[in-house]
Amino acid sequence: MKPIRQNVKFDKKLLDKNAVKVVSTIHKAGYEVYLVGGCVRDLLLGLNPKDFDVATNAKPEQVHKLFKRSRLIGRRFRLVHVMFSQRNFIEVATFRSGKVQTAKSGVIVRDNCYGSIEDDVIRRDFSINALYYDVFKHQVIDYVGGLNDISSKEIHMIGDPVLRFEQDPVRMIRAIRFQSKLGAKLSNEIHVSILNQAHLLSHVSPARLYEECVKLFHNEYAFKVFEHLEKYGLLKCLFKQTQKNDFIKKALLNTSTRIKQNKPVTPAFLFAVFLWQAQNEQFSMIKKQQKSFYLAMSQASEEVIIAQIQQVSLPKWLTARIKDIWMMQSKLEKNHPKKVKELLDNPRFRMAYDFLLLRSKSTNPELIEVAKFWTKVQN
Ligand code: ATP
Ligand code: MG
């Protein structure tokens, strides 16, 4: 396989200093080493990369020896994290071959055979994600037409989408995410196989899907992602209790705006929005037999969350926050004069208020006045 080598000199300011340090150290030790994946894609698109990944022919143990502050991680495949602070690290992966051990279902169970850069290219998902950047020669190395696909904004699978989605169904939601992020077109093969294979997503472990869901919706194009997921029948494999409504749309657009403005976002908020309708329906049913408002609310919340975590697992702290947001809605709606101060002092007030405000602007216009009250009283 002969790659295209394109000279591209990225402005030094755009490259992560720590990533460059890691690459330099590995290079000096005599190994082949590149920046790879999403960071190269994003730099070519003029976007700010979220993280910088490094690929090398050095084995994990050899990389580990080069950096005092590094650790070996991973079970399915071994990686090295070179630590710069507790939260800040650069991930270094050794070139791996596409040879994978699969279970009967086609799902990958082991993926740890080291290989050359040519092998490493083929195990990646899409051509746009399989570009390597040589920091020293200022060259992008492209074996699979990724450069071309970036300029024409097309998403092509490396290999046969039917097989590659079977091996790892998460690639389907990654395709949707990159499609929305780049404003790109899915190749016809990808389009057809997602339509046919969307149901495979139900077999992915809920724990893995939590991370992926956060990535799906915490960005500037969250609503587009939502619409595409729905169109392809993927949404119901993640959130079977969720149906599009104006509240969800407004909340997703609001999340994107907050991200553009560098304001904090929490997954608790969006999950609370996605499940609110289901919670309400469940509550109405339970309330027929249960006199206590509080108990009916708790039970409904619990049941909706239990159904959700069968698809996408949610950490405990997050479900606690979701329940708080829901429980505070009726208190805010009542705005009892004696309770105003107590509610304003509640650490979850801000989230619950934002939730109420979005409801008032979408599915619950009757709440406009009460939302105005809370806007005024907190200033
Ligand atoms: P971003 O960081 O913006 O979410 P990314 O492409 O960098 O996008 P990562 O999850 O950081 O995504 O993965 C890094 C690279 O690893 C990808 O660019 C791709 O080459 C490869 N990769 C990630 N997940 C898969 C997968 N499920 N199947 C095949 N290759 C993958
Ligand atoms: Mg990345």
pLDDT of the residue at 101: 63
For residue 112, the model assigns a pLDDT of 62
Q: Which of 129, 142, 150, 157 to mutate to test the pocket of ligand 1 (most atoms within 8 A of CB)?
A: 129
The proportion of the chain whose per-residue pLDDT surpasses 90, expressed as a percent, equals: 89
Which ligand gives the minimal distance to the CA of 48? Answer: 1
Q: Edge-to-edge, what's the strand order for the sheet holding 139-142?
A: 4-7, 139-142, 131-134, 33-36, 53-56, 89-94, 79-83, 70-73
Query: For 310, phi and psi rounded to 5 degrees?
Result: -75, -20
d(CA 275, CA 378): 27
267-378: CATH number: 1.10.3090.10
List phi, psi (to 5°) of 195: -55, -40
CA 196 from centroid of its chain's CA atoms: 23
Q: Which pLDDT value is given to residue 73?
A: 94
Longest alpha-carbon distance in the chain: 75
Which of these, 147, 132, 113, lies nearest to 23 by C-alpha position?
132
Q: Which residues surround ligand 2, an ion (CB under 5 A)?
A: 38, 51
The domain locations on the chain are 4-152, 267-378
Does 129 contact ligand 1 (Cβ within 6 A)?
A: yes
Dihedral sign for Cα 193, 195, 200, 201, please: positive
Q: Give pTM, 2 decimals.
A: 0.93
What distance in Å separates the CA atoms of residue 81 and residue 88, rounded to the nearest whole number? 9
Ligand 1 and 168: CB distance under 6 A: yes
Task: Report, as an integer, the average pLDDT of 177-205.
Answer: 97
- From the CB of 120, is ligand 1 less than 6 Å away? no
Per-residue confidence (pLDDT) for residue 106, from 0 to 100 = 65
Report the DSSP beta bridge partners of residue 133.
Answer: 35, 140
Rounded Cα gap, residues 291 and 297, in angstroms: 11
- Supply the pLDDT for residue 100: 64
Rounded Cα distance between 106 and 168, Å, is: 8
The single-letter DSSP state of residue 340 is H
Reported as a single tens digit per residue, the pLDDT across 221-243 is: 999 999 999 999 999 999 999 99
Which atom of ligand 1 lies at the shortest distance from residue 130's CA? 20
Note whether 96 and 192 are within 8 A (CB).
no
Q: Domain 4-152, what architecture?
A: 2-Layer Sandwich (3.30)
User: Residue 338's pLDDT is what?
Assistant: 86
pLDDT > 70 in the chain, percent: 97
Q: So which residues are the catalytic ones?
A: 51, 53, 125
Q: pLDDT for 57-98, tens place per residue?
A: 999 999 999 999 999 998 778 999 999 998 899 999 999 987
Which residues are within 8 A (CB) of 187 and not within 5 positions of it... i.e. 6 or more apart?
Answer: 154, 155, 156, 157, 161
Nearest CA to 212 among 225, 199, 200? 225
Identify which has the larger pLDDT, 104 or 30. 30
By DSSP bridging, strand 89-94 and strand 53-56 are parallel
What's the 41 CA to ligand 2 centre distance in angstroms?
10
The whole-number average pLDDT for the span 255-284 is: 97
Eight-state DSSP code of residue 283 = H
- The structure tokens listed for 259 are 């991200």
129 C-alpha vs ligand 1 centroid, how far in Å? 7
Say if 4-152 and 267-378 have the same CATH topology. no
Provide the b/e sequence for 339-373 (b: ≥16 CB within 10 Å).
eeeebeebebbebbbbbbbbbbbbbbeebeebbee
Can you spell out the DSSP letters for 144-195? SSHHHHHHHTEE-BSS-HHHHHHH-THHHHHHHHHHHHHT-EE-HHHHHHHH
